[in-house]
Chains A and B, each alone.
Chain A
Amino acid sequence: MALTLLRGIRTPTLLRANFSLLCTTQRHPLAHFTTRAESVQTTEPKAVPKSIQQATKEAAEQKIQGFESVIGIETHVQLSTITKAFCSCPNNYGSQPNSTVCPTCMGHPGTLPVLNAKVVECAVKMSLALNCKISMTSKFDRKQYFYPDLPKGYQISQFDIPIAEKGYLDVDIPVEFGGGHRRFGVTRVHMEEDAGKLLHSESGSYSQVDLNRAGVPLLEIVSEPDMRSGIEAAEYGAEIQRLVRYLGVGNGNMDEGSLRCDVNVSVRPIGQSEFGTKVEIKNMNSFSAISRAIDYEISRQILLYKESQADQIVQETRLWDESSQKTFTMRKKEGLADYRYFPEPDLPEVVLTGEYIDEIRNLMPELPEAKRRRYENIGLSMQDVIFLANDDKVAHFFDSTLEHGTDAKLAANWIMGDITAYLKDEKLSIDESKLTPLELSEMIAYIKNGTISGKIAKEIVVDLIAKGGTVKSVIEEKDLVQIADPAAIEAMVDQVLTDNPKQLEQYRAGKTKLQGYFAGQVMKASKGKASPVLLNKILGEKLKGSC
């Protein structure tokens, strides 16, 4: 059967999209190519740390214990170009297996790669954002290894002359993790192509190859070993994701594998100059997982050190297992893998001009770091700063609101509070909201001048997000103008006090907390329109007077 399937993918037939198209490599029990997902239980060293909590705690106390961890990250960013890197197949996520393939990305005989210019543009954008030195002339190389998801038997990548080198990335550590500003070095940025995907059958008796992803453009970003904790590494990754999204070079979705982080972790006694043995961790699908995986790994390694079993820390690739919150050996590295890199003879060198780079530089948007510094300068708290700059769409909404003269803190509060909460519930993004920055600023102005109360505004804002329209029309339509007439409020207060003699009695007996109850009743009577300030003032006076 598998053979028939295999024939199904061959040559002209496979170009017919409706065929079902999985190319199969059958009957190769998993020894080799299912290791990525499997073998998880096999080679765990005996000394397993006692518990996660303890491990995490120990990680946090690592410095006290006299150890330092060293972390470097390799990030793969899928570029959302319309077509693949070296052929004109569509670059779509989630298509039917083997439906976005052609002879070139399937590695058929005689095919040649042709570089998609958009890939270079994205690489230059990203390199500029990472403050890198861009190589005016770079080249492609072949990285060679055999694997069924690699159709040509080599990956087109860049080896000794990457498109950019020697950059850095500034991040702000969230306040809840201690805060602070960090700068992490970026060693290099290079362009390469993604491999296909293996789909393993449930029985494990065969595996299938989906080549839709083969040839999808990637940027590999390699950091300096500058990070010292899980949270620093997670923040570094999150900042890369922000850059990818700000620049529009990719979607940065970790769950789709559009952004993948491989982390190298080693520990060493403080004072030791050479690095400890580094361990690579893969399979983390969120930044929080990155942080937890690293902290776990640090504590695992420190524990081995402390138990004089440092020789059990070996150069290997470990997988993060979300369910047990542990890392497990995936494969031990037998010496250095020899990829036999050599210059890709099918592609000419990539030669850039200063003009080309300037053109791209001039079109770069304001990046998250610049935004954060700007927000900081207008007096927002670090928490607000980090929140607002996190998503370029949110930041853009915020900036547009400010352009209408709105107070920054008030705008920030609305965006971070009610608006975000509502959008989150409805699973919408801010650019899907029908609320415009102009209307938000209008609404804030109405609150400020007393036309509506904050409480009313909370209702209005939901309406505006869902249905759009202007604040003014919603207020008028629903008759929501605040009751700011003291006489009218006084009448309502009187009515409430009259209607609740029992509670008034209790109040007089000293249960002054009941003032809140009365206020609520009045607000209810006014259908929420009573000015809270006036209401509280009048109610207070009345209650005092009634004692």
Chain B
Amino acid sequence: PSDHQSPPTQSPNPHTLSLPTSKPQTPTRTGVRRRTSPPAAAMPPPLQAHRMLLSHRRASPIPRRRFTAVSSLSSAPAKTLAPGPPASSILSIRESLLSGERTAADITSEYLSRLRRTEPSLRSFIHVAAAAAEREAEELDRRIASGGRDAVGPLAGVLVGVKDNLCTASMPSTGGSRILDGFQPAYDATAVRRLREAGAIVVGKTNLDEFGMGSTTEGSGFQVTTNPWDDSRVPGGSSGGSASAVSARQCVVSLGSDTGGSVRQPASFCGVVGLKPTYGRVSRFGLMAYASSLDVVGCFGSSVFDTATILSVIAGHDKMDSTSSSHDVPDYRSDLASLSLLESKPLNNVRIGIIQETLGEGVDAGVISSIRSAASHLEQLGSVVEEVSMPSFSLGLPAYYILASSEASSNLSRYDGIRYGQQVSADDLNEMYGDSRANGLGHEVKMRILMGTYALSAGYYDAYYKRAQQVRTLVKKSFEEALGKYDILISPAAPSAAYKIGEKTNDPLAMYAGDIMTVNVNMAGLPALVVPCGFVEGGSAGLPVGLQMIGSPFSEGKLLRVGHIFEQTLPDLSFVPPLLADD
């Protein structure tokens, strides 16, 4: 199929990318708006300005590389929303807890009250465990008070949102599907368990497209989540709830899952950092399988540093997942130096390839210029940026949908209403299966099950599944080649910024086409980081655009380092949504 590149769905005039003039850039208390000119996607800032930016940051303590480090870079002041380049909320929480400046209960209540205020319009969460969070926070305060600071984990007091397709023993886990309405797992997913062991407080379960199948979170069996930047728009998907929750600071960080872009695209739509780790980097145990060979658990943060912190905690081999890797897990934060320690050209010797095919037809002009502008910024930081062509890029999308649907058709067979989940009584077995699944599963899920079943059927297997596997090999090879020449490949994370709710619900092909930027990375099993890089017009304050950085297997450290430098030096943009203007 050649129709996978849809026309831009939301096509702002490329010439109107400057700040909306209707609203003057009044610096607000919270700095929720872009603070200054120049316009986001216009000229790259002169190097001069960038240096100035570096030099006017307040000095930070020397970085320390242990979890117990109080601070290795600027942490936000106690009030979590502050202007300036994104600061680490995790560090700030830790600092204020250990210094006694704030209690965990205090911090938790700040987040919960914001959650309560914003949730009616956002609907990021399927389940909020407010009371449990408060209880855990008080417990933590008691431990700190009784001098047990050493026993305080690296994520102590950090409120985490968990995508609802990750199992939690203490909360219902539905995968966004009616068929699992009320289902409460017997165990915690490994990623969740590791977060808890590090002291994190799980604040609730975030909304998603049913079983991760979708790009807007409209496919949830329960509710539609809105985008914190504009409540008439989608937050992206499938991890839309996790992205919007972090964007709106309903929680500090969150877990998502990424099968074809489900972390990266919503990160881009919501203006947060999203990381899709290498396949196998994080255990899938406890992640309700969509497409097992593509699924990874990923994470969101409002800064690269926070994202790196979460990855350090959740990554690593798990004996419960034979596809998890035993590759060493470094402390991903250790290379994330404070701005004051950066050289003027911190990305010297970094070779960056910008994937030609991702900046062509079907891609929103505003997105293209944001990415080009981000590329110039990377160049100014010392890297070499060149265009690289990956001819097999467009083959990935159809192959992805065949493979993902095939695996999904199998993975979702267990939702039959026999052992758990919603069962519809019927007079015979087949009818019971049919009715339970017809009733419990949503439209998109059924469509993919049917596609996958078809692709795996006798007589079609070779033409579809096997051929798609061959394409997958091609895609892998072409990435290997490109990543032999470049340290990092960059592209948009999505062909457009967030679009309107309902805009694509009746056009699945257009919806699928939106995944063009991300699916290849899953097919190749590579890590990719999305960092907010600019805005396009839309909403009251513009709509964020994310830059996708793709690396070789297990190069998360490199991606996070480059992403961190990029983020910390990105001038004059703030990715705190207008929703929080009243904070």
User: Chain A interface (Cβ within 8 Å of chain B)?
Assistant: 3, 6, 9-12, 14-15, 23, 25-29, 31-33, 103, 106-115, 142, 144, 146, 148, 151-154, 209, 336, 338, 340-342, 345-348
Given A110-B285, A153-B413, A154-B413, CB of A346 within 8 Å of CB of B185: no
Stretch of B216-224, B287-295, B440-448, B490-498 at the chain-chain interface:
B287-295
Q: Which residue of B lies closest to A6 (CB)?
A: B423
Query: Is B413 touching A110 in the complex (CB atoms < 8 A)?
Result: no
Please report the C-alpha to C-alpha distance between residue A25 and residue B291 in the assembled complex, in whole angstroms: 28
Q: A6, A15, A114, A142: which contacts B186 (Cβ < 8 A)?
A: A15
List 20 other contacts, CB 8 Å, given A28-B432, A110-B285.
A10-B419, A10-B420, A11-B420, A27-B426, A28-B426, A31-B429, A32-B428, A103-B185, A103-B186, A108-B414, A109-B173, A112-B289, A113-B322, A144-B410, A148-B418, A209-B419, A340-B458, A341-B456, A342-B461, A342-B465
Q: B323, B418, B432: which contacts A348 (Cβ < 8 A)?
A: B323
Q: B173, B285, B319, B457: which contacts A340 (Cβ < 8 A)?
A: B457
Query: Is A154 touching B322 in the complex (CB atoms < 8 A)?
Result: no
B505 at the interface (CB under 8 A from A): no
Would you give the shortest CB distance from B448 to chain A, in whole angstroms? 15
B180 at the interface (CB under 8 A from A): yes
**B residues near A336, Cβ cutoff 8 Å:** 458
Q: A15, A25, A108, A341: which contacts B420 (Cβ < 8 A)?
A: A108
Query: Is B410 touching A142 in the complex (CB atoms < 8 A)?
Result: yes
Given A31-B429, A338-B458, CB of A109 within 8 Å of CB of B410: no
Q: A31, A108, A112, A142: which contacts B284 (Cβ < 8 A)?
A: A112
**B residues near A111, Cβ cutoff 8 Å:** 285-286
Please report the C-alpha to C-alpha distance between residue A3 and residue B418 in the assembled complex, in whole angstroms: 10
**B residues near A23, Cβ cutoff 8 Å:** 418-419
Q: Which residue of A lies closest to B169 (CB)?
A: A12
**A residues near B300, Cβ cutoff 8 Å:** none
Please report the C-alpha to C-alpha distance between residue A348 and residue B418 in the assembled complex, in whole angstroms: 29
B407 at the interface (CB under 8 A from A): yes
Query: Is A153 touching B414 in the complex (CB atoms < 8 A)?
Result: yes
B425 at the interface (CB under 8 A from A): yes
Q: Which residue of B lies closest to A87 (CB)?
A: B320
Would you give the shortest CB distance from A7 to chain B, in whole angstroms? 9
**B residues near A3, Cβ cutoff 8 Å:** 423
Please report the C-alpha to C-alpha distance between residue A31 and residue B419 in the assembled complex, in whole angstroms: 20
User: Chain B interface (Cβ within 8 Å of chain A)?
Assistant: 165-167, 169, 173, 175, 180, 183-187, 189, 284-289, 291-293, 319-323, 406-407, 409-410, 412-416, 418-420, 423, 425-430, 432-433, 453, 456-458, 461, 465
**A residues near B465, Cβ cutoff 8 Å:** 342
Given A114-B319, A345-B407, CB of A109 within 8 Å of CB of B180: yes
Please report the C-alpha to C-alpha distance between residue A164 and residue B189 in the assembled complex, in whole angstroms: 36
**A residues near B420, Cβ cutoff 8 Å:** 9-11, 108
Q: Which residue of A lies closest to B413 (CB)?
A: A153
Most chain A beta-carbon neighbours within 10 Å: one of B169, B415, B427, B429:
B429
Please report the C-alpha to C-alpha distance between residue A477 and residue B458 in the assembled complex, in whole angstroms: 77
Please report the C-alpha to C-alpha distance between residue A196 and residue B44 in the assembled complex, in whole angstroms: 64
**A residues near B287, Cβ cutoff 8 Å:** 110
Q: Which residue of B lies closest to A15 (CB)?
A: B186
**B residues near A152, Cβ cutoff 8 Å:** 413-414
**A residues near B293, Cβ cutoff 8 Å:** 345
Would you give the shortest CB distance from B521 to chain A, in whole angstroms? 17
Contact residues of B: prevailing secondary structure:
loop
**A residues near B423, Cβ cutoff 8 Å:** 3, 6
Please report the C-alpha to C-alpha distance between residue A25 and residue B419 in the assembled complex, in whole angstroms: 8
**A residues near B426, Cβ cutoff 8 Å:** 27-28
**B residues near A146, Cβ cutoff 8 Å:** 413, 416, 433
Query: Is B286 touching A340 in the complex (CB atoms < 8 A)?
Result: no
**A residues near B412, Cβ cutoff 8 Å:** 153
Please report the C-alpha to C-alpha distance between residue A187 and residue B125 in the assembled complex, in whole angstroms: 54
**B residues near A209, Cβ cutoff 8 Å:** 418-419
Please report the C-alpha to C-alpha distance between residue A204 and residue B330 in the assembled complex, in whole angstroms: 59
**A residues near B430, Cβ cutoff 8 Å:** 32
Q: Which residue of B lies closest to A344 (CB)?
A: B292
Q: List 20 A-B contacts (CB under 8 A).
A: A11-B185, A11-B420, A27-B426, A27-B427, A28-B427, A31-B428, A31-B429, A108-B185, A110-B185, A110-B287, A111-B285, A111-B286, A114-B321, A144-B410, A144-B413, A151-B414, A154-B410, A209-B418, A340-B458, A342-B406
Query: Is B323 touching A342 in the complex (CB atoms < 8 A)?
Result: no
Q: Which residue of B lies closest to A209 (CB)?
A: B418
Pair count A-B, CB < 8 A: 142
Query: Is A109 touching B429 in the complex (CB atoms < 8 A)?
Result: no
Please report the C-alpha to C-alpha distance between residue A150 and residue B455 in the assembled complex, in whole angstroms: 22
Please report the C-alpha to C-alpha distance between residue A209 and residue B418 in the assembled complex, in whole angstroms: 9
Q: A6, A28, A144, A346: which contacts B292 (Cβ < 8 A)?
A: A346
Please report the C-alpha to C-alpha distance between residue A114 and residue B185 in the assembled complex, in whole angstroms: 19
Query: Is B427 touching A107 in the complex (CB atoms < 8 A)?
Result: no
Q: B186, B187, B292: which contacts A345 (Cβ < 8 A)?
A: B292
Q: Which residue of A lies closest to B211 (CB)?
A: A109
Q: Which residue of B lies closest to A342 (CB)?
A: B456
**A residues near B291, Cβ cutoff 8 Å:** 345
Q: B284, B285, B410, B425: which contacts A27 (Cβ < 8 A)?
A: B425
Please report the C-alpha to C-alpha distance between residue A348 and residue B317 in the assembled complex, in whole angstroms: 14
Q: B288, B319, B407: which contacts A110 (Cβ < 8 A)?
A: B288
Would you give the shortest CB distance from A254 to chain B, in whole angstroms? 28
Please report the C-alpha to C-alpha distance between residue A340 and residue B405 in the assembled complex, in whole angstroms: 13
Query: Is B166 touching A110 in the complex (CB atoms < 8 A)?
Result: yes
Q: B284, B406, B419: which contacts A107 (Cβ < 8 A)?
A: B419
The 7 closest A-B pairs by CB, nearest first: A153-B413, A345-B293, A345-B292, A340-B456, A32-B429, A110-B286, A109-B288
Please report the C-alpha to C-alpha distance between residue A335 and residue B355 in the assembled complex, in whole angstroms: 49
**A residues near B288, Cβ cutoff 8 Å:** 109-110
Please report the C-alpha to C-alpha distance between residue A19 and residue B309 in the assembled complex, in whole angstroms: 42
Query: Is B413 touching A112 in the complex (CB atoms < 8 A)?
Result: no
Q: Which residue of B lies closest to A142 (CB)?
A: B410
Query: Is B285 touching A25 in the complex (CB atoms < 8 A)?
Result: no
Please report the C-alpha to C-alpha distance between residue A29 and residue B431 in the assembled complex, in whole angstroms: 11
Please report the C-alpha to C-alpha distance between residue A255 and residue B425 in the assembled complex, in whole angstroms: 35
Would you give the shortest CB distance from B101 to chain A, in whole angstroms? 39
Would you give the shortest CB distance from A93 to chain B, in whole angstroms? 22
Would you give the shortest CB distance from B577 to chain A, in whole angstroms? 31
Please report the C-alpha to C-alpha distance between residue A1 and residue B367 in the assembled complex, in whole angstroms: 58
Please report the C-alpha to C-alpha distance between residue A12 and residue B71 in the assembled complex, in whole angstroms: 40
Please report the C-alpha to C-alpha distance between residue A151 and residue B465 in the assembled complex, in whole angstroms: 24
Query: Is B173 touching A29 in the complex (CB atoms < 8 A)?
Result: no
**A residues near B407, Cβ cutoff 8 Å:** 342, 345
**A residues near B418, Cβ cutoff 8 Å:** 23, 25, 148, 151, 209
Most chain B beta-carbon neighbours within 10 Å: one of A33, A114, A336:
A114
**B residues near A29, Cβ cutoff 8 Å:** 427-428
Query: Is B322 touching A347 in the complex (CB atoms < 8 A)?
Result: yes
Please report the C-alpha to C-alpha distance between residue A11 and residue B171 in the assembled complex, in whole angstroms: 12
Please report the C-alpha to C-alpha distance between residue A152 and residue B407 in the assembled complex, in whole angstroms: 13
Would you give the shortest CB distance from B256 to chain A, in whole angstroms? 15
Given A110-B185, A340-B457, CB of A148 within 8 Å of CB of B429: yes
Please report the C-alpha to C-alpha distance between residue A82 and residue B456 in the assembled complex, in whole angstroms: 35
**A residues near B183, Cβ cutoff 8 Å:** 10-11, 109
**B residues near A347, Cβ cutoff 8 Å:** 322-323
**A residues near B419, Cβ cutoff 8 Å:** 6, 9-10, 23, 106-108, 151, 209
Would you give the shortest CB distance from A71 to chain B, in whole angstroms? 26
Q: Which residue of A lies closest to B285 (CB)?
A: A112
Would you give the shortest CB distance from A406 to chain B, in whole angstroms? 52
**B residues near A151, Cβ cutoff 8 Å:** 414, 418-419
Please report the C-alpha to C-alpha distance between residue A307 and residue B412 in the assembled complex, in whole angstroms: 50
Q: Which residue of A lies closest to B293 (CB)?
A: A345
**A residues near B189, Cβ cutoff 8 Å:** 110
Most chain B beta-carbon neighbours within 10 Å: one of A3, A28, A338:
A28
Given A32-B428, A146-B433, CB of A114 within 8 Å of CB of B320: yes
Would you give the shortest CB distance from B575 to chain A, in whole angstroms? 32
**A residues near B428, Cβ cutoff 8 Å:** 28-29, 31-32
